[in-house]
Amino acid sequence: MSQERPIRVRSIDGLRAITMLLMIWVNDFSTLTGVSKWLKHAPSGANFIGFSDLIFPVFLFVVGLSIPFSIMARDNANYSRSSTYFHIAMRTCWLLVIGVFIVNYENASNDMPVFNQAWWSIFMTLGVFMIWMDWQASPVPEKWHKPIQVIGVVLLIFLAVAYRGGEDATVRFSTLWWGILGLIGWAYLANAMVAMIFGTKLLSHGLAFVVFYVLTILNFAGPLSTIPFPFTFAGTIIQGYIPAFTSAGLVTAVLVINLKTRPLYLLSAIVAFALINIVFGLAIKPYYWMVYKLAVSNAFSILAFAIMYFLVEVRKYTNWYKAIGAAGSATLTCYMLPYIFYPLRTITGWRLPDVLNTGLLGLIGSLCFAFIIVFITHIAKKRGFKLKL
């Protein structure tokens, strides 16, 4: 891949920004009543896919879209291959760490000896910002960068030690599951390794994509439903399901790299890739619902990118998404901010009247909240404050 020229694909930034905005929006549905079941996550065992069920798969897809361009950018900046492997490993590690902290927050007790759940979340988020802020790009003097990061590390360690979860406050800090960011981390690791090994070879990426689908089928068919020790920690990769969403994005990105100079062929190939997923999904639906959900979700993501690519790269319509651009360029910052705002609302007891948390008015209010988070992210980024792993 080091011999390829880096390509700037603005449509990826646009799709990432829209997806992040929608993720904040649908995450706020839990505060509302009277929301259509078609907008929420489908209950376990239901035979339909809710709108909310599509958002995280699209984000995983965008992660895959970004991987080869990130690697090419590092190659262009003359980073060694070994340093890029190390970068991938460390980014994965940090996503896992932050993901586990968020999972523990969600199960935290209000009867902890030091903090209640709300304050624990605020200090957790503060620690994350102190450690992973891109301090080099900030206006903070360089002499304070390392001390702030060290304080952040100490803070997170203290929070982990002081943590108590569960209804009776007896559960200690642990890897209950990896959390959304942790799942992203595993999917990123698996597909970044594929990208490093295969570069921009379309056939090789297609085979890797098929392998993840086969692993997913084996997972839901039974053979891989239980991963034996010591491989349990990497079960997310071995079972295939989560990395398969990202693999679809990676294959699409390789199509872009190989066919960028022929937009008609490129869009045709992307649409064909989506149709393959739809046909496969419909064929396997009677046997494995979750594999059907994987294939249909990937088709949705692929077609969403095709539309975005046509608008942004072919028709050159770029101004329309700039208002939410910070959600695409400072995505982790945008994702973490609600972990301050929700606890503050709990602490202050502030809440909109019930009529504004119900039905259509509630949905509009939640969308406004998402735009506010994106706007705050924009202001923070403009002033030089942005998380960077």
Q: What is the DSSP string of 250-283?
A: HHHHHHHHHHTT-HHHHHHHHHHHHHHHHHHHHH
Average of pLDDT values for 7-19? 89
Judge if the upstream peptide bond of residue 228 is cis by omega within 30 degrees of 0: no
What percentage of the chain carries pLDDT values higher than 70?
A: 97
Q: Are 249 and 60 a contacting pair, CB within 8 Å?
A: yes
**65 CB-near residues (< 8 Å, 6+ apart):** 9, 12, 15, 249, 250, 252, 253, 305
pLDDT confidence tier of residue 144, bands split at 50, 70 and 90 = very high
Going by the DSSP 8-state scheme, the letter that residue 47 receives in this structure is: S
In the predicted structure, residue 113 carries a pLDDT above the cut 90:
no
User: 71-80 contacts: CB < 8 A, separation 24 or more?
Assistant: 71/1, 71/192, 71/195, 71/196, 72/1, 72/2, 72/4, 72/5, 72/6, 72/7, 73/6, 75/1, 75/2, 75/4, 75/6, 76/5, 76/6
In the predicted structure, residue 10 carries a pLDDT above the cut 80:
yes
pLDDT confidence tier of residue 2, bands split at 50, 70 and 90 = very low
In the predicted structure, residue 347 carries a pLDDT above the cut 70:
yes
Average of pLDDT values for 236-251? 95
State the amino acid at position 74 in one-letter form: R
In the predicted structure, residue 357 carries a pLDDT above the cut 60:
yes
The pTM for the full model equals 0.93
Q: Are 228 and 40 a contacting pair, CB within 8 Å?
A: no
pLDDT confidence tier of residue 7, bands split at 50, 70 and 90 = low
Could you tell me the two tokens for 54? 């599509």
Question: What is the C-alpha to C-alpha distance for residues 345 and 78, in angstroms, rounded to an integer?
Answer: 47
3 state SS of 140:
coil
Q: Are 270 and 86 a contacting pair, CB within 8 Å?
A: no
Phi-psi region of 45 (alpha: psi -120 to 50; beta: other; left: phi over 0): left
In the predicted structure, residue 4 carries a pLDDT above the cut 60:
no
Q: pLDDT at position 230, please?
A: 65
pLDDT confidence tier of residue 320, bands split at 50, 70 and 90 = confident
Q: pLDDT at position 227, please?
A: 72
Q: pLDDT at position 175, please?
A: 87
Mean pLDDT of the chain: 92
53 or 226, greater pLDDT: 53
Question: What is the C-alpha to C-alpha distance for residues 3 and 13, in angstroms, rounded to an integer?
Answer: 24
The count of C-alpha atoms lying within 13 angstroms of the C-alpha of 197, restricted to the half-sphere facing its C-beta, is 11
In the predicted structure, residue 3 carries a pLDDT above the cut 70:
no
Q: Are 293 and 49 a contacting pair, CB within 8 Å?
A: yes
3 state SS of 358:
strand
Residue 189 parent element (H or E): helix 179-198
Could you tell me the two tokens for 342? 């929700």
Average of pLDDT values for 131-155? 96
Q: Which residues pair with 365 in a beta bridge?
A: none
1 or 99, greater pLDDT: 99
Question: What is the C-alpha to C-alpha distance for residues 201 and 191, in angstroms, rounded to an integer?
Answer: 14
Q: Are 23 and 61 a contacting pair, CB within 8 Å?
A: no
In the predicted structure, residue 225 carries a pLDDT above the cut 60:
yes
225 by Cβ neighbours in 10 Å (0-12 / 13-18 / 19+) ranks as exposed
pLDDT confidence tier of residue 170, bands split at 50, 70 and 90 = confident
Q: Are 301 and 250 a contacting pair, CB within 8 Å?
A: no
